[in-house]
């Protein structure tokens, strides 16, 4: 197994895309995800809304054959004392400075995809493990949860990796919000 | 979604995380209080994969720095 990993990963690097970086080619089999990395990740980077990381070969300077990517941004999970949004809005209009909200810091995986040629090599799970640990190891700020806006086809993958649905509202949507509690990684006391 | 992005993008925008109300909020808080620790094997696998990708990220960022220095 280790030898297999070495063969797959030793020629690869991970790079954070800058505003001026473009990706020339990527195909994960989903047009929407392809469109994001090929045309839109730069906009998110420019507006400082999300940072995209790409997995590629050492010599692929022009991002011509990237193997996988993931986009990360800051997020929060807020919970209200109210039963629904209408009651909450009515209250917060009347008592603007007392919103009765609790918020927990989170990091969001906005988009995450593996190129079709690299599927079946466990790359998705390896990168997801990295993301989980990245926000607990030497974290500069607090972060309790990883959230993800998961495409319907990827939901079983996230559930298998310990994520759970945030609510029931988006059960039939093309994407669904899931979360992972980083406290699950703590060692037993 | 930030308006500056929304007017420019064609792909599906990244969904905002909503405020949780009612049963969703109660379920979320209850789950936060639960003690669900991963197994030591799973923790070891996560740590190994983290170190693997962190190494690739460090190599990538170092190469980027070297290329940038060479062009300045």
CATH number of the domain bearing residue A156: 3.40.630.30
- Going by pLDDT thresholds of 50, 70 and 90, the confidence category of residue B13 is confident
Q: Into how many domains does chain A fold?
A: 1
> Does residue B45 form part of some domain?
yes
Separation of alpha carbons A175 and A154, rounded Å: 9
Q: Tell me: pLDDT of A115 over 60.
A: yes
Which among B9, B17, B38, B45 is the top mutation candidate for probing chain A, defined by the most A β-carbons within 10 Å of its own β-carbon?
B17
> Does residue A176 form part of some domain?
yes
Q: Into how many domains does chain B fold?
A: 1
Q: Give per-residue pLDDT as tens, B40-66.
A: 999 999 999 999 999 999 999 999 899
> Does residue B21 form part of some domain?
no
**Would you tell me how many other CB atoms lie within 10 Å of the CB of residue B60?**
20
Q: Give per-residue pLDDT as tens, A16-65.
A: 999 999 999 999 999 999 999 999 999 999 999 999 999 999 999 889 99
- Output the pLDDT for position A89: 67
> Does residue B19 form part of some domain?
no
> Does residue A68 form part of some domain?
yes
Q: What Å distances lie between residue A25 and A43, A63, A65, A130, CA to CA?
A: 17, 7, 6, 24
Residues in chain B with CB shorter than 8 Å from the CB of A135 are none
- Going by pLDDT thresholds of 50, 70 and 90, the confidence category of residue A139 is confident
Q: Span B21-31, mean pLDDT? A: 92
> Does residue A7 form part of some domain?
no
Q: Is B66 on the interface with A (CB under 8 A)?
A: no
> Does residue B57 form part of some domain?
yes
Model confidence pTM above 0.90 = no
> Does residue B55 form part of some domain?
yes
Number of H helices, E strands in chain A: 6, 7
Q: Give per-residue pLDDT as tens, A88-114.
A: 666 666 555 455 678 999 999 999 999
Give the structural domain span for B47.
39-72
Nearest to A129 among B10, B11, B46 (CB): B46
Give the structural domain span for A40.
12-185
The C-alpha of B72 sits at a distance from chain A's nearest C-alpha, in angstroms, of: 16
Let me know the angle formed at the C-alpha of A134 by A133 and A136, rounded to the nearest 5 degrees.
65
**Would you tell me how many other CB atoms lie within 10 Å of the CB of residue A54?**
23
Q: Tell me: pLDDT of B8 over 90.
A: no
Q: Tell me: pLDDT of B9 over 70.
A: no
Tokens of A25: 């080619």
Residues in chain A with CB shorter than 8 Å from the CB of B6 are none
CB A65 within 8 A of CB A80: no
Nearest to B49 among A130, A147, A177 (CB): A130
Q: Span A137-166, mean pLDDT? A: 93
Q: Is B19 on the interface with A (CB under 8 A)?
A: yes
Give backbone dihedrals phi and psi of A110, rounded to 5 degrees, phi first: -75, -50
């Amino acid at each position: 197994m280790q030898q297999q990993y070495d063969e797959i990963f030793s020629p690869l690097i991970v790079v954070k895309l800058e505003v001026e970086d473009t990706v020339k080619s990527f195909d994960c089999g989903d047009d929407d995800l392809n469109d994001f990395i090929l045309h839109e990740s730069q906009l998110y980077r420019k507006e400082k809304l999300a940072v995209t990381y790409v997995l590629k070969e050492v010599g692929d300077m022009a991002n011509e054959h990237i193997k996988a990517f993931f986009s990360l941004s800051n997020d929060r999970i807020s919970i209200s004392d109210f039963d629904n949004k209408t009651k909450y809005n009515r209250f917060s209009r009347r008592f603007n400075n007392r919103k009765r909200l609790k918020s927990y810091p989170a990091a969001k995986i906005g988009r995450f995809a593996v190129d079709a040629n690299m599927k079946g090599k466990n790359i998705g799970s390896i990168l997801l493990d990295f993301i989980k640990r990245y926000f607990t190891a030497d974290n500069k700020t607090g972060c309790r949860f990883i959230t993800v806006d998961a495409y319907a086809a990827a939901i079983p993958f996230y559930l298998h990796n310990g994520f759970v649905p945030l609510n029931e509202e988006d059960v039939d949507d093309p994407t669904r919000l899931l979360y992972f509690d980083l406290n699950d990684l703590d060692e037993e006391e | 979604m930030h308006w500056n992005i929304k007017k420019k993008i064609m792909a599906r925008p990244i969904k905002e995380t909503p405020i949780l109300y009612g049963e969703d909020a109660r379920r979320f808080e209850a789950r936060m209080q639960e003690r669900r620790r991963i197994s030591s094997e799973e923790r070891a696998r996560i740590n190994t994969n983290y170190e693997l990708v962190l190494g690739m990220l460090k190599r990538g960022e170092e190469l980027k720095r070297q290329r940038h220095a060479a062009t300045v």
